[in-house]
Amino acid sequence: MVDLIPIPAWHDAQGRPAVYPTLEAAQREIADDVMEKLRQFLDGERDFDDALTVEDYILPVEVLPDGTILDADGNRFGNKAC
């Protein structure tokens, strides 16, 4: 069995992993994404099961001075390669 390492799914305009100031802000971002998927289902652009699938979740991270993030397991993530 392979252990999966969580990786940042979303990045800002500068390619840095998305970090939110509060838990609620992060939850609202995921909720907004889910609502967009449901709109796409209603418009016939996405299957129902796909629209209801939520793979994103929230983890606390430490933002380091260089803008990279460090998770509780010691995984460090920086800018997304362009």
Segment 50-72, tens digit of pLDDT: 999 988 989 999 999 988 899 99
**Predicted confidence (pLDDT) per residue in 5-39, tens digit:** 788 888 888 888 889 999 999 999 999 999 999 99
HSE-up of 74 (CA within 13 Å, CB side)? 0
- Identify each DSSP E strand in 1-82 by its residue range: 61-63, 69-71, 76-77
The pTM of the full predicted model, rounded to 2 decimals, is 0.78
**81/32: higher pLDDT:** 32
Query: What is the Cα–Cα distance from 33 to 48, expressed in whole angstroms?
Result: 15
In the chain, domain spans: 23-77
